[in-house]
Every structure is written in C-alpha cells, then in structure tokens.
Structure 1
C-alpha cells in the first residue's frame, strides 16, 4: 500500500538536506588606466578672466600709441609742409647778409637765427634735393618770415652782391702805413680811427685771438704793430673799421698757427718772433737772405763772444742814427711822421729807452713793421751754418754800384768794414 508524503514529514532513510549557500561572485576586472578626473570648470574660468584682464589693456595701449604716432606724424608733416609752402601771414622785412663762400648749411642756420624759417635742416635738404642750392648768391637780401622755400631761394639767387675792393698791404709796412692805405682807399675816415681800433684804445675787443691776449703791455708804441698781416684782401667797401682790422688779425692767426710747435720747441714767444721778424724784413729785403740775416741777429743776441756781451741788436732800422738812406722807424718812417718826431728834432727819451737798438740789450719793446710769413719763419729758423761759423755782420751793395743788392757777410768788425767798402758805402 502506498503511503502518501505530507508536508513537514521526512522520509526515513532519506539524506539530510544541505544548507543553502550563496554562490561566490567572480572578481571584478581591474581597470586598465586611471579614471580621468572631472574638469574643474570654475578654476579655469578664473584663469581666463585673469588672462583677459592682463592682456587686453596692453593691446589697447599699443593701438593708442600707434594712433598717437600717426597723429603726431601727420601734425608734424602738416607743419613741415606749411613751412615749405609758406603762408599769407608774412613777417616784417629783414636784411640778411650772406657772406661769400657760405655753405647751404650755414645759410640755413643764419635764416633760422633770423627767424625767417623754423627748421634749418629741412631748408638744407630742400635746397639740396630740389637742385637749387647752386644758384644761391652772396650779398644783402630782403626776406620775411612766412615766405615759401621757393621764394626764399629765388630771392637768395638774385645777384645783389655788395661792392668790394682789393686792398694790398706790402710786407714791412708799418701800422701807420697800413692805416693810411685804408684811408687812401676811401674805406676809413682817418688814420687815428684805424689805429684806435687796431690798438683797442677805442674799446675794440680782439680777445678771440690768442696772440692778442699774449701781447705784453710793456710801453710799446702800438699794440697792433707787427700783427696787421701783409696780404692782398678783397673787402666790402661799406663796412666799419673793426671789420677791416679783424680781417687782417684773422689772417695773421691763420697763417701763424702752424708755427706753434716751433715756437714751443725754441722756448720763445710769438711776440718775440714777430719783433725779430720785423727787423729781418727791413734788413734782408730778399727772402733768400732772410735765414742768414736771422743768424747774424741770433748771434748778436745769444752769442758768448765777449764783444757781444751786451747782446745788442744794433740795427739801423730802429736807432738814434739818422740817415736819409735808412728806413728808420724812429726818424724817417710813417710812424716818426705820425708822432711828429722829425719836426721836433728829437725823439723822446722814454721811446729811445724802449726802441734804440744801439743802446738797449735784446729786442725792443715791440715790432717796427708788419712782417710777412717768410720773415717770421726765418726768425724761428735761422741759418744754422751761419750761426755755427759766427757771422755777426752783413751789408748790401749800394744801389748806385755794380754790386747793388748783393749781400756781404762778416765775422769781425774789420771784415765788415772791408765789405762796406766793396758794397760802396765807405
């Protein structure tokens, strides 16, 4: 008979039920890379804002600077164009004097200083590149500020030259003689006007020249003597006396500048060189004899020979010895006539004490003429052979003899006397 199984009953001899267990899950696979972090949007926004604040003003500043430069350039360009083109509002008339030989650069500076133009460099470039610079003349021109560059150059290109004349000053001319030449040329009213300016006694100042500042105030008759450089000058006819004197002083300074090293090497002064040169100029007469005559004078002034212990120059060109045949500075020269000494019959003692070369030792107080360059150079460079051999005397042939103009040199007084006989003087 079958027995039915009911709930809750366990059949006999049946295996005991096993407790149910959960299955062990399989291990999760390991990630192959680190997960990408989420972007931090808030922080990046701050950086962009900061970068925007940092870069934006710089860009604006550059733009502003460029615009300012463009604007300034345009403004200056308009100024330059207005300067070149001129205007309707012209200034008062001015007379501008352009010197002969002036460069375009110096003319542009002169126009700027006069207030005719504002930009000298611009005028210079305009004149250069317009091809009109070569047409500019010298002379006196009437100009006005506000004129166009073309009108200015056109005016300057008109031939309106100042009248000039040539004045020749021979070598060995005295200061009084130079003054008379300018009076005779109609350039100066009288001799005194010229000499007062040349000597600075009328307040004229020539201190721009080094030689002028070095001239000693030692009682010399004229400060200008020796420095009115002999030359042929082309000068304006309508200038004042200062212009004429300054022209000669400028020439003296330029011509003697090259002698500075020689003067220093010899341990002398330019003033002493000019003094001695004035005697060489008078006594030599020929440039070829300058250095030999200079040697004789150097020996008299510097020799150890007992006969010349007093070192007197003993030149008849400036002494108390009155001879019609001599061009004596104290007796029959324009200087003597200017002071009235021949008429008075005597030269003041104080003048003789400074200029009589037979009485005083060394050089006189001042030069006796205005010597040329060759004589000044010879004073600094005497003939060395004549110095070494001891020549002290010289004489030239009498004009009325066969040896006229010939030079005779001697070492002793006896030899000199024999030479004087040969020369037709004894």
Structure 2
C-alpha cells in the first residue's frame, strides 16, 4: 500500500516529465520557426538575383516604385516571400527607387539589388523613355525632372531652345524621335535633344525619299504634321495606313480634316479631359473644324510607323471613321454609313454605362 509521501513523489516526477516534454515541444516549435524564417530570408533577401552571364543590366524607369518592383520579381519567380522584401525596404531603405540603368554582377543578392537601386550614383546609364504620341512639352518636362541629366536648356523659351540646338524650325513639336534611349549619366539635355532630333530627321528624310506618288504635301514637314495627327488618332498599329488614307483623301477633296486631337492641341492648358461642341466651333490655329488643310505644326511626337503611314496611305475609298467603343475604328466611304457607325458607337457607350 503506497503512502501519501510516495504518491507525492510519483506526482512530482510525472509533473517534471511533463514539463520537460513541454519544453522540448516549445524548443522544437521554436527551432522549426527559426528554420522557416531563415529559409524565407534566404529565398528572399539573400537569394542571388538571376543574372545571365557575368553581369546584367537592370533598367529602372521614372515613377517606378519598390512595391511594384518587388511584385514583379515575385511574379517572374526571381524572388520568394515578397512581404519580407517589402518589410526590409520599409525599415532599412529610407529612400525611393532612382531611375537609371544598373549593372548587376553575377552573385549579387536581391537585398544588395534593393539597396543599389535606391542610389542614383550606382546607375551606369540613364534610360530616357520618349513615348510616341506625347508632346514636346512632356519630353522637356521629363528631362527637367531627371536628376541624371545635366540641365543646360531648362530656362530657355522654345525659340531660344531651337536656336541653341541649331534647329531651323519655328516650333519644336514633332521634331524628336520617340523611342527608348540609354545615355551616360550626366549627359546634357542639349546633347540628348540633338540626338533625338537628328534621328527624327533621318527617319523623315528616308520616308520622304520613298513616299508614294501624288501625296498632297508641299514638303516633308507637312508630312510630319500629318504623321503626328495619325499618331494621335489611333493606337492600333494596323489602322495607321487607313487613318492616313482618310486624311489624304480629305485633303485631295478640299474637305476639312475635322480631327479632335488638333482641337485639343489648340486648346492647350484649357483642355481638361473632354471637348464640347463649343470647343469644336472655337477657332484656333490648330482647330481643323474651322481651318482648311493642315495645322501649322505637328501636334505630337510621331513614331517611325506613323511617319511611314503618312507617306503610304491605304488605297481604299474611305473618308470617314469613328471609334467602335471596343478598340479600333470603323471606316466608311459615305456619310450614311458613317452616321450609322456613330450610332453604334453611342449604343456601345450607353451599354457600358448601364
């Protein structure tokens, strides 16, 4: 028969065994968590950035954010556990992404890449993106905001700028080729604009030499004006020649171009996102509802494809077009069909609102 003292000893021993077992469980859980955390850190922060060859260039654009960059790495399976990367950036990188082109050597960790791209001094090249259909004002403003560009022309008027660049035109619009460029850090805005200008003139000269016969342009500058209108009228590359054909036929017929982008350009800063019937009736140098022929200058920076389209319009009989509301345009040879297409477009807009 066991005594109370013996029972107490057995109970204490059982408690001690249970306590030891609990500690082991806690230690196992803690060890597992540490291993998982270390694995997460290793496959996120300390994983090597994937590099093909000995080194690779990484382009960061103006306006890019760390959050978007990290999400991109995750989607491309270049990094795991993006929340860890975001926490690291939040607590240890006290700056924003800096635009530029960075050289990433093989073996560089993702953490090192995150640190690198917060400092523009680490950039090897400056990436200049000039988007077709944007304006010279957009281009010059982007250059002014670029910390990797040496600013020589910032305070000049358009007339003074053209003179400084030795450009024999009275208006800068349309004279600079849209594309993606890489310049050395610290390159001057003057050198950049001269390079873009000479590229655009080379494209224009080549297209003019190989143009289709019987075009209604007095010179290649008028063709450049037309190219800028074509660029603004459609973002569908397959439609460029069709749009060109419509406007070329209108010029040949003595019909006004009546294109909204010219109205918007003529409105300047007054344009707040939409145009009214009153805007269409208000004369400006660029309002092709009130003037005949082409406006006095381009209205945007046209791409090489738009310039080629201006020189090679399609050979259909279309003289009207309107948006479909679902991407692209519907082209018509007569006003009756055009009006029907306009009503179809309005119906699509009403359906989308509902």
TM-score by length of 2: 0.55
Distance 1:166 1:392, change over 3 A: same
**Two-structure CA RMSD over aligned residues (Å):** 3.4
3-state DSSP of counterpart to 2:292: coil
Preserved contact between residue 176 and residue 195 of structure 1 (Cα < 8 Å): no
Q: Distance in 1 between matches of 2:259 and 2:272?
A: 19
Match of 1:247 in 2: 195
Match of residue 150 from structure 1: none
Report the equivalent of 2:312: 381
Whether 1:312 and 2:251 are equivalent positions in the alignment is: no
C-alpha deviation, 1:416, in angstroms = 1.1
For residue 102 of structure 2, what is the aligned residue in structure 1? none
Q: Quick check: 1:163–1:238 contact (8 Å CA) kept in 2? A: no
Per the TM alignment, residue 316 of structure 1 is displaced from its structure 2 partner at its CA by 0.8
Classify 1:172/1:298 alpha carbon distance in 2 versus 1 (closer, same or farther; 3 Å): same
Distance apart, 1:224 and its partner CA: 1.0
Structure having the larger proportion of residues in helix: 2
Shift in CA distance, 202/256, structure 1 to aligned 2, threshold 3 Å: closer
Q: CA deviation at 1:249?
A: 0.8
Partner Cα separation in structure 2 for residue 181 and residue 191 of structure 1: 14
Quote the offset at 1:246 in angstroms: 0.8
Structure 2 counterparts to residues 188-203 of structure 1, below 5 A: 193=154, 196=157, 199-202=158-161
**1:166-181 alignment, distance < 5 Å:** 166-181=127-142
Structure 1 residue 270 and structure 2 residue 220: aligned? yes
Structure 2 counterpart of 1:330, from 250, 262, 266: 266
The answer as to 2:349 corresponding to 1:405 is no
Q: CA deviation at 1:291?
A: 0.5
Alignment check: 8 A CA contact 2:266 2:284 kept: no
> Counterparts of 1:191 and 1:397 in 2: how far apart (Å)?
45
Distance change >3 Å, CA 252–CA 271, structure 1 → 2 = same
3-state secondary structure, aligned to 1:167 = strand
Inter-partner Cα distance in structure 2 for 1:191 and 1:352: 36
Name the counterpart of 2:321: 394
Deviation at residue 182 of structure 1 after TM alignment: 1.7
1:248-304 superposed Cα distances (whole Å, 9 cap, x missing partner) = 11221232332232359546311101111111001121111011111111111112x
Does structure 2 retain, via aligned residues, the 8 Å contact 1:294–1:378?
A: yes
1:235 aligns with 2:162: no
Unaligned runs of 5+ in 2: 1-121
The answer as to whether partners of 2:152 and 2:188 remain within 8 angstroms in 1 is no
In the TM superposition, structure 1's runs of 4+ consecutive aligned residues that sit over 4 Å from their partners are 187-192, 263-267, 340-343, 345-348
Contact 1:225 1:366 in 2 (8 A): yes
Contact 2:176-2:196 at 8 Å conserved across structures: yes
SS of aligned partner of 2:266? coil
SS in 1 for 2:262: coil
Distance 1:257 1:318, change over 3 A: closer
Q: CA deviation at 1:190?
A: 8.4
The answer to whether the 8 Å contact 1:179/1:194 transfers is no
Q: 1:392 and 1:190, CA in 2 relative to 1: closer, same or farther beyond 3 A?
A: farther
- Paired with 1:268 and 1:261, the residues of 2 have a C-alpha distance of 14
On the 8 A contact 1:183/1:191 being kept in 2, the answer is no
Q: Deviations over 1:359-408 (max 9, x none)?
A: 00000011100000111111111001x1xx2x11111222xxxxx11321
> What SS class does the counterpart of residue 176 from structure 1 fall into?
helix
How many Å separate the matches in 1 of 2:165 and 2:153?
18
CA distance in 1, matches of 2:284, 2:152: 26
- Within the candidate set 163, 184, 189, 2:145 is matched to 184
* Aligned residue-pair number: 221
Shift of 1:329: 1.9
Verify the 8 A CA contact 2:144 2:154 in the aligned structure 1.
Answer: no
Q: CA deviation at 1:231?
A: 0.6
| Contact persistence 2:288–2:294 (CA under 8 A) | yes
Whole-angstrom CA distance in 2 between matches of 1:178 and 1:256: 19
Separation (CA, whole Å) in 1 of partners of 2:342 and 2:260 = 14
Structure 1: gaps of 5 or more residues: 1-160, 218-222, 304-308, 320-327, 399-403
Measure the CA separation in 1 of the matches of 2:258 and 2:323: 16
Residues 300/200 of structure 1: CA separation in 2 closer, same or farther (3 Å cut): same
